[in-house]
């Protein structure tokens, strides 16, 4: 077996990561695996930040919140600062010294994999939020649905029926949504929505939709009190 503690920093890290179970058991070519490998190979903090954004929906959301001035640092689950400070040289040194545990824990916390894998429901909600914040002001609307226990989901322009099938096939959950409709972005921090979908039996009132979206903004580190979410009025 090759000595994973010899060679230059990139070689030491690559050899170690190839046999580190939490990473090596991820599917070959998966977005998360590639992002972690890009992160540990990065030569600068800026490159590490780009790799982290490509692999962590939560980090990407918090960068969006920061740009919109709604990031709640007192609320945000923020393993990112200490992770971004982990340089390639530090990681390689910890491997050579046989003490990489702290660095590996930072990687798992920041990228949420291995023993700290994010629950499927959170993946679904973050997918929804990323599409929500990607909407252009006064632009196209976004179809969404909400599952029991307040899990919002969207499917990148798919119909509500296609979205519901995708939710199951991607392993995010089972069952049928309790409502569905469309959301419009009318201002940078203001949205209107309806529950117009006839694909499911709607059993959630508009206030339930508003509370669901607000809760997930709060859960992911945003200040939901600065975001307006209101039912679409007639004529809007």
CA dihedral over 18, 22, 25, 27, signed as positive or negative: negative
What is the Cα–Cα distance from 195 to 88, expressed in whole angstroms? 49
What is the Cα–Cα distance from 54 to 10, expressed in whole angstroms? 20
pLDDT at 203: 84
For the chain of 236 residues, list the mean pLDDT of each consecutive stretch of 10: 66 94 91 96 95 95 96 71 92 96 94 92 95 97 94 90 90 89 97 91 90 96 96 66
pLDDT at 231: 95
What is the Cα–Cα distance from 111 to 155, expressed in whole angstroms? 23
What is the Cα–Cα distance from 141 to 60, expressed in whole angstroms? 21
Residue 30: other Cβ atoms inside 10 A: 12
pLDDT at 155: 85
What is the Cα–Cα distance from 62 to 190, expressed in whole angstroms? 18
pLDDT at 6: 58
pLDDT at 235: 45
Q: Which residues pair with 187 in a beta bridge?
A: 190
The domain spans of the chain are: 9-116, 120-231
pLDDT at 3: 54
Backbone angles phi, psi at 222, to 5 degrees: -95, 160
């Amino acid at each position: 077996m090759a000595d994973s503690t010899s060679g230059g920093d990139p070689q030491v890290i690559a050899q170690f990561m190839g046999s580190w179970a939490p990473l090596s058991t991820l599917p070959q070519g998966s977005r998360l695996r590639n992002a972690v490998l890009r992160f540990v190979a990065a030569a600068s903090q800026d490159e590490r930040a780009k790799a982290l954004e490509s692999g962590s929906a939560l980090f990407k959301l918090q960068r969006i919140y920061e740009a919109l001035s709604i990031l709640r640092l007192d609320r945000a689950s923020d393993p990112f600062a200490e992770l971004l400070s982990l340089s390639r040289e530090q990681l390689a040194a910890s491997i050579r010294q046989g003490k990489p545990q702290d660095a590996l824990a930072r990687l798992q916390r920041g990228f949420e994999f291995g023993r700290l894998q994010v629950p499927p429901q959170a993946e679904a909600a973050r997918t929804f939020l990323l599409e929500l914040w990607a909407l252009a002001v006064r632009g196209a609307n976004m179809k969404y649905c909400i599952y029991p226990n307040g899990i919002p989901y969207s499917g990148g322009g798919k119909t509500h029926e296609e979205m519901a099938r995708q939710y199951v096939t991607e392993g995010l959950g089972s069952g049928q949504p309790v409502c569905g409709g469309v959301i419009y972005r009318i201002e940078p921090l203001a949205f209107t929505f309806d529950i117009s979908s006839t694909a499911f039996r709607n059993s959630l009132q508009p206030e339930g939709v508003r509370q669901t979206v607000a809760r997930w903004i709060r859960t992911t580190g945003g200040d939901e009190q600065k975001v307006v979410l209101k039912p679409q009025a007639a004529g809007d």
